[in-house]
Homo-oligomer: A and B are copies of this chain.
Amino acid sequence: MRLIFLGDVVGRTGRQIVTTHLPRLIERYAIDFAVVNGENAAGGFGITEEILQSFLDAGADVVTTGNHVWDQRDALVFIARQPRLIRPINYPPGTPGAGATMVTARNGARVFVANVMGRTFMEPLDDPVRPLEHALEMHKLGSEVDAAIVDVHAEATSEKQVFGHLLDGRVSLVAGTHTHCPTADHRVLPYGTAFITDLGMCGTYDSVIGMEKDEPMRRMVERVPGQRIGPATGPATLSGVAVDTDDRTGLANWIAPVRVGGDLDPALPTRWEED
């Protein structure tokens, strides 16, 4: 089975690169299932229902989020009617929306997607391990589900790597998000789970994590507040990973970076063309 997961979409340039290139990637590589992290899609802060729909229209099967999920307050309402939008599973009981979902892919496959949030250098949230374990018990890879994907939205590389190892052998892919910077450590872990510490962002990299760079530069020097900071403009890069899974076990055969456009080294899942 063929999966793609794109990192945090930041602002207009990020949305454009995703809605333009995700459909092409899906078609060209016959991708079965696509996930997009949309927590910064609306001007860098949160997501609107309209933007969510544009991602679904572009081929996203599930949209994950993170600490910015409620920046657009409407999300507290529309998440209830949008089962393909999920938020971190470790918000307290009673929080609108769900932290995991099961979706039937284009190819009929059953795909489980979960979103957890880290706690190191982040706001206080509940334990991410236990609710995720609970959800995974009901969605066993290779029997109940054909693929399983976990978005670990976290700051610290250590915390994301712990999640990779904790889930190794039980899900298809553990992908970190939140730092807006793609890592080059994608690999298949010893027990068969594809892993990457961070997917990077879909947005303009000539920036500070996707936002205009002038004001953050000034603040670093002057340490007093100034202008509001908006998303950067300029050529954008789509950034994420492609994962090929075993149809029987749901585990990963390989993982490869996907980068299209903008300033970063391009990368395409050409192994799918070789098959």
Please give the residue numbers on chain A whose beta carbons come within 8 Å of chain B beta carbons, in ascending order.
70, 73, 76, 91-96, 119-121, 123-127, 129-130, 155-159, 161-163, 165-166, 179-187, 189-190, 197-198, 200, 205-209, 213, 216-217, 220-225, 257, 259, 263-265, 267
Residues of B within 8 A of A187 (CB): 205, 263-265
Contact B184 A257 (CB under 8 A): yes
Contact A95 B223 (CB under 8 A): yes
Contact B162 A217 (CB under 8 A): yes
Query: What 6 additional pairs, Cβ within 8 angstroms, besides A92-B127, A157-B179, A184-B257?
Result: A73-B225, A119-B124, A129-B220, A158-B208, A162-B213, A185-B264
**Cross-chain pairs A/B with CB under 8 angstroms, 9 sampled:** A95-B224, A158-B216, A162-B213, A162-B217, A165-B208, A165-B217, A182-B183, A182-B185, A185-B200
A165 and B197 alpha carbons, distance in the complex (Å): 24
A91 → chain B closest CB, angstroms: 6
A221 and B130 alpha carbons, distance in the complex (Å): 8
A125 and B120 alpha carbons, distance in the complex (Å): 11
Contact A155 B222 (CB under 8 A): no
Q: Of B127, B157, B166, B267, which is within 8 A of A126 by CB?
A: B127
Residues of B within 8 A of A221 (CB): 92, 129, 166
